Structure 1
Amino acid sequence: MPETRAFQILVDTATTIDDVITGMFLVNSVPARVLFDYGSNHSFMAIRFCDKLNMLVCMLPEPLEVEVGNGKTVPVTTYVSGISIEIDGSVFPLTCLVMPIPSFDVFLGMNWLSFHKSRIKCDKKMISFPMANVTHAIAQGEQGGCSHPLISMMMAKKSLEKGCELFFAYVIDIKKDKKDYH
């Protein structure tokens, strides 16, 4: 059985350390918590999120043994394709292996990051994707330990169009030194 790797991390941990990038993005027009996982060989989708999308699951020709962060291996036998993820107004195709993932909906691994020629800036929690029209799509990761999902203006607009009620808050920590806002 071929073997691959997947890095597993909790959401609160992912938003507080500099070398991991995570955020909320639209996957098939559904908000998803995504981890850009350059420690993983492949891209993965949580079983529960795949069920939420009601995607057709396909069998792999041969099962994979996926080594997760605690050193254990998990057998993976299925994948989904025909998925898209929206980043900075651009839509990217996506195929994912399906497995139980506790904290995230989607892991985008090195196969996907390399295919899209991404440039990762860990210190800024930012990933840049070159586009055909000489511009770049930018994925800006969450900063600083926020345990509540954050949504982009695009996701907010789409939610409003579907009839959802939205509440926005802009919060400033007045105890912080002004020099911290560089």
Structure 2
Amino acid sequence: GPYEGYSYPVCTSCGRRHPGECRRAAGTCFKCGQTGHLQKDCKKNTAATTSGQADKKPGASGRVFAITEDHATKTSGIITGTLFIYGHVVCVLFDTGATHSVISSVFASCVTTTPTLLDHVLCISTPMKDSVRITHVYRDLLLQFDDKIRAINALPLDMFEFDIFLGMDWLTEHHAMIDCRSYRVIFGDIHA
């Protein structure tokens, strides 16, 4: 049936809403999810520059508006909820203001799929920074909606309160309609 949105309780450690254990309280790196270092010192920060793509000029652009739960609650056209990817529970944001679908860099490190190199550098505008350069994409990740499985191509992005943003690229491809009054996402081909 249609997907119902909801939000998580406020975390007593960090004051934000998120699923599972608080990454701040656990002392894990926000980039890779491991302990013993901070995001600014993470070895994964150098991965994008070793790809050979760092010197290329951006070939396309996009935008992602709601990076945090606070931004999401202040932005119209957004519904949050929980889905599954490969058995992992993921906190998902359906965002009509985002041109592309994205996956949290921390959550992406839990997925067994290896990202592939984009043909061009993609610059994504976010409310947290002017723009972020993206060089890789996670292709054909399998999202589970009740008994339906749907694929997603997601760009890795540093974000902490959501695991996945489903942007207009994905929503359009899957004929989704967002009913803001009842906080539901309805798929045009749900009975296919």
Say yes or no: TM over 0.5.
yes
Deviations 1:62-120 (A, max 9, x none): 11110002461011111011211111321111111112122211000001000111111
Task: In structure 1, give the amino acid aligned to 2:63.
Answer: R
107, 110, 122: which is aligned to 1:49? 107
**Aligned equivalent of 1:111:** 169
Deviations 1:111-135 (A, max 9, x none): 100011111111211010133646x
76, 81, 98: which is aligned to 2:134? 76
148, 151, 159: which is aligned to 1:93? 151
User: Where do 5+ consecutive residues of structure 2 fail to align?
Assistant: 1-57
SS of 1:124's equivalent?
A: coil
RMSD across aligned positions (CA): 2.0
**Aligned equivalent of 1:143:** none
Judged with a 3 Å threshold, the aligned counterparts in structure 2 of structure 1 residues 83 and 17 are, in CA distance, closer, same or farther, namely: same
Instruction: Count the aligned residue pairs.
Output: 134
* 8 Å CA contact retained: 1:60, 1:79: yes
User: Where do 5+ consecutive residues of structure 1 fail to align?
Assistant: 135-182
**Aligned equivalent of 1:11:** 69
Judged with a 3 Å threshold, the aligned counterparts in structure 2 of structure 1 residues 6 and 29 are, in CA distance, closer, same or farther, namely: same
Q: Which stretches of structure 1, 4 residues or more, deviate above 4 A after TM superposition? A: 15-18
**Aligned equivalent of 1:23:** 81
Q: Take 1:133 and 1:42, find their aligned partners in 2: how far apart are those partners?
A: 25
Percent identity of the aligned residues?
26
**Aligned equivalent of 1:67:** 125
Whose radius of gyration is greater, 1 or 2?
1
Judged with a 3 Å threshold, the aligned counterparts in structure 2 of structure 1 residues 133 and 54 are, in CA distance, closer, same or farther, namely: closer
Structure number having the greater helix percentage: 1
